[in-house]
Each structure stands twice: as C-alpha cells, then as structure tokens.
Amino acid sequence: MTFRSRLTLAFSLLIAAVLIAVCTFVYFQAKDFTHRQFFQRLYERGLITGQLFLERDELSAKSMDKVRQKYLNKLNEEVLTVYNSDLQPRFLLDSSNAGAPTQLLEQIRKDKYVEFWEGDRQVVGFFYHDNEGNFFIIASAKDATGLEKLANLKNAMIFSVLGSLLLVLTLGYFLSQQVLRPIREIVSEVNKIRASNLHLRVKGRSSKDEIAELTQTFNQMLERLELSFEMQKSFIANASHELRNPLTAISGEIEVALLKDRSVPEYKTSLQTLQNETNRLQKLTSDLITLAQTGFDEQEIQRESVRLDELLLEVKQELESPQTGNSRIRLHLENLPDFPEKLTVPGNRNLLKIALQNILENALKFSDQAPVAVTFSYQNSGISITVKDSGIGIPAEEISYVFQPFYRAQNARSRQGTGIGLSLTDKIMKLHHGQITIESHQHKGTTVTVKFKS
C-alpha cells in the first residue's frame, strides 16, 4: 500500500470514527429524550384521568365526553386504570384486563411514583390523593410514533455516515494528491541526480514548512556529498602523483646505477639517494594512511584523557633528539592552573601527537635554523598552544589553501615535504573539537595557534 493510500485511509477512518461517535451520542440522547417525554405524557394522562374520574360527579355527561375527547385521545394500545386504597379497580379505560399485580401497587404505595418498561410498552404508576380517599393510577401504552422516529433517525444517521465516508474517501484521495505533490516533485528531481552530476540541487520552496525544510536538508546533504566526492577525486589524483615521484626517482636511480660498473663512493651516493627517496615514500605513505583514518566518524576514534603539557614535552624531546640534531625549540609555560586535571582533554593520544609533531616540524623546517618559540598557556576558556617561527612565511594569498591536502605554497616547494601535514592536523583538531589558526607574513615568519576547550 502506498503512502498516499495509507494517508487517505487513515484520514477517512478518523473522520468515520468521529462521525460515528457523534451520531451515536445524538441518537442515544434523542432516544432518552423520547422515552422520557413519553413517560411524562403517560403521567399527565393518568393524572387527568384521575381528576376526571374523581370529579365526574360534578360534571354533566356532555361535559365529561368533551373533556375526554379533548384530553384523552387514545394512545397506541393504551391502558389507564385507577385503583382505590383497597387495591380494587375503580376506573378502567379501554382494556379488558382489570387486574394489577399487588406487588406493583405496594411499590407505588411506598415510592409514590414508578416507571418501567414492559416489553415494548412504557408503564407509569403513581399515588393520587383526593378528598374521597387515596388512589393508585397506572397508565401504559406503546410509543409507536416515538419508536418510528427513532428508527428513521437511526437509518438517516447510518446513511449519512456511509455517504460522508464515501465523500471523505473521495475528497481525501484528491487532497492527499495535493499534499504529496511536492514530495513527488522532490522524488522526481532526486532521481535525476547521479554521481556524475552531484552539482544539481532540488528546487527550493518559497513556503516555510516541513517540505521546504526537507528540501534544504537534502540540498545540504548533496553539498557534503559533492565536497566529499571532489575531495576523494583530488585525493586520489594527488596521491597518485605524489607516490609516482619517489617511485620514479628510485627506478631512475637504479637504472643509472646499473648502466655500468661504478666506484664505491658512487654506489654509496646512489644508495644514499635511494635511501632518501625511500624515506620520503615511507613518510608519504604513513601520512596518507593517517589522513584516510581521520576521515572516520569521530565516534569510532578511541579516546582517553590526554595531558597536553606532557604530550607537548614528549614531542619536543623527540624532535630535539641527537638523531635529528635539533635543539631550537624554546618552550614557555604560562598561566598554568592549580589543578593538573584542567590540562587534560578527551582524545586520541596518537592523533594529537601527530598534530603537534606536524606543527613543530613545519616550524623547524621553514625557520632557517632560527629558534622556534612555543607557548603553552591556560585560560578559563581552555588550553592554547602557540608555535611561532621567524622563517620564510606564507604568501597572504595562499594562506586559505594551506589546509587542503597536498597543497604547498610557492615559496615552500623547494623544501622537502608531502603537503599533507597541515591538512592532517586540521582534521585531527576538528575530530577533537579544537581550533587551529594561522597568521603569517612572508619573510617574517608564521604563527600557528591551536586551542582546546576545557
């Protein structure tokens, strides 16, 4: 069953349920009112009958007939009986049955007034006091007119509900068609979008309703998908290019070395070149794998409490190891809190270490042997790490591109690197809800600041 059919059916059933409930309530209210009115009518007729019977001796025969014709028009199967205090019938109107259950008369004596059903007949009995004595009056009849009206009312309501339901089904079908038209248009437009034309968008709606919100959300999803596809294409193209360079260099160096026999120094030089290209390839491969891993959902990243000051000291020590020959990092600690727990952040230690290494390695590489100033500070808003060098700097027009994978500024292409470091660092910071900013002036140096919320 289609959503349109389900919507129409649900709408029709709801309307039908409301109509049936209303009609049922009206019918039973009318039924109760009709029966109550007929009981009252029987009581009034019995009362008039008693008065006429008891005052009969004061009326002429002609007057008595006129009163009976005016007030005592016979009801359907009507029985009117008056009993004296000895429970003997004193007046009987149009009935051959002059007896009455003693139990009923005793109940009337006790309660003064009773009313009940006897099959499809309604019966009223009441106690009547007169100067001639105490009497019991019983009136009963069948409300044929009232029952007929109730039957007509019930039939009218049944046909009204069925007719209304048919009308609601018809109108609901066309109404649902109008309501679902925007969704069908969206489905039609979405079916035209393929991987080859992700630039297409669903036509926006001028109204500010749920359909417009759905359209906006879907277009935002398409924008993310298009960006993801473009980044994937760029990543594959750049990765292929970057991997091809060291492999080509290694292959060429081997071919040159094998052209003829060479001296030991020449072989050492060739092997050194191969070693450098192999190291470059290894670093590039490692960066590519890490960059791909940081594209995972942040919920999949294993997290722990990481002391950022200790992690920064660890990275500093590794970069200043005797193997690297670097001892140019000047670390400054400012505004440290009284409680060390405030220097911890939830995150992945390995990824955070890679981010800090990339920043410090870039600063050391582009600072032209000048010292690099690292400031670790704590404020109420969180932890801030600032790395400042006095190197070649980044051209102002290229700062906005440095976080793109494989992008390298024009003045940095002569330096060894893969162009992945800052892109990887940016992704790691986003995974940890941190922020990285770069301020740079060409020939004056670069300042990189990372911030973590406490």
- Give ∠ CA 451-453-454 in degrees, rounded to 5: 125
According to DSSP, residue 440 is labeled E
Q: Tens-of-pLDDT digits for all 454 residues of the chain?
A: 677 777 778 888 888 889 899 999 999 999 999 999 998 988 888 887 777 766 655 545 455 555 555 555 667 877 888 888 777 776 665 544 545 677 888 888 888 899 998 888 899 998 888 777 788 888 888 888 888 899 999 999 999 888 888 888 888 888 877 777 777 788 888 888 877 777 777 777 777 777 788 888 888 888 877 766 766 665 666 566 567 767 887 888 888 888 888 888 888 888 888 887 787 777 767 766 665 655 545 555 667 889 999 999 988 888 875 554 557 888 998 888 888 888 889 988 878 888 898 889 888 888 877 889 999 999 877 899 999 988 888 888 888 778 776 666 665 665 666 666 787 788 888 888 889 999 988 888 899 999 998 6
Distance between CA atoms of residues 448 and 117, nearest Å: 97
For the chain, the distance separating the N- and C-terminal CA atoms, rounded to the nearest angstrom, is 53
Q: Is 249 exposed, middle or buried (0-12, 13-18, 19+ CB in 10 A)?
A: middle
Fill in the amino acid letter for 405.
P
Does CATH number 3.40.228.10 belong to domain 299-453?
Answer: no
Nearest to 141, CA basis, from 44, 222, 235: 44
CB 363 within 8 A of CB 449: no
Domain ranges, ordered by start, for the chain: 3-149, 210-277, 299-453
Tokens 């704590």, residue located: 378
Three-state secondary structure call for residue 306: strand
Nearest to 390, CA basis, from 454, 440, 342, 315: 440
Q: Tell me how far apart the 2 most distant CA atoms of the chain are, in Å.
A: 162
Q: What is the CATH number of domain 3-149?
A: 3.30.450
Bridge pairing between strands 329-334 and 372-379: parallel
Q: Do domains 3-149 and 299-453 have the same CATH topology?
A: no
Question: Residue 324 has what pLDDT?
Answer: 47
Question: Residue 290 has what pLDDT?
Answer: 63
Question: Residue 411 has what pLDDT?
Answer: 55
Nearest to 280, CA basis, from 180, 403, 149, 418: 418
Distance between CA atoms of residues 424 and 151, nearest Å: 83
